[in-house]
Amino acid sequence: MHPDFRLNMNNIEVKGTKDTLIEVARQLFAKIGIENTTMNDIAVTSNKGRRTLYTYFNCKEDVYLAVVEAELNQIYRSLETVVDKKIPADKKLLEFIFTRFEALKELVLRNGTLRASFFRDIWRLETVRKRLDIHEINYIQSILKEGVNANLFEVEDIESMAFVLHYAFKGLEIPYIQGTLKWSESMLRFLFHGIKKNK
């Protein structure tokens, strides 16, 4: 095991062996870096044998992608909580946006050296995100439908609008995480009213 890292297994609350391996790997990656972590480190630190580790994962790349997927799943559970709230659709969309960006920022910042990998490997992560992106687009569609039904939104093509909003949000992720973008009243007005001046 890497000499700079000690992990208290009592602090890991997981449901099964695979979850334990993923959480141990996440903490190792965050603390000492993906490059410095070996499959043996993960096996030893998690008190599992190498055979057990290789039962679930073929290589460190597989473990890394499983870590990213587990982290992204936490974000989507947070978004699902927002979608299920009994609040007006316009307020729900704003809360959805803030929850989404803050959860992603927290994910990146809490994972130490994984931060560099997030920014460097953003396109590699698309492999993991594709399936999860579908959930987010569906969540946005759901909110837009609620807003249209409540006469709060005027959207002719809900499916296309959800797609556009989703990819607009994705395009703003890195500036938001880096702190160069902050949501403002004018940006939120643009989201709801566009740039054309009302007469």
4 has a pLDDT exceeding 60: no
pLDDT, tens digit (0-9, with 9 covering 90-100), for 186-197: 777 787 777 666
Flag whether the pTM goes above 0.85: no
Our CA angle for 23, 27, 30, nearest 5°, is 135
User: Do 26 and 108 touch, CB atoms closer than 8 A?
Assistant: no
Give the tens place of pLDDT for each residue, 113-146.
555 555 556 556 677 778 778 889 999 999 999 9
Task: Show Cβ contacts of residue 3 under 8 Å, excluding neighbours closer than 6 positions.
Answer: none
Give residue for tokens 């990146």.
108
Alpha helices (runs of H) in the chain, residue ranges in sequence order: 17-32, 39-45, 50-56, 60-83, 89-110, 114-120, 126-149, 158-178, 185-193
Q: Which of 46-60, 66-80, 107-121, 168-182 has the highest mean pLDDT?
A: 46-60
Q: 140: closest CA among 120, 121, 158?
A: 158
The answer to whether residues 34 and 66 touch, using CB atoms and an 8 Å cutoff, is: no
Of residues 119 and 39, more confidently modeled: 39
- Measured CA to CA, the distance from residue 21 to residue 157 in angstroms comes to 43
- Averaging pLDDT over each range in 10-14, 62-66, 87-91, 125-129, which range is the top one? 87-91
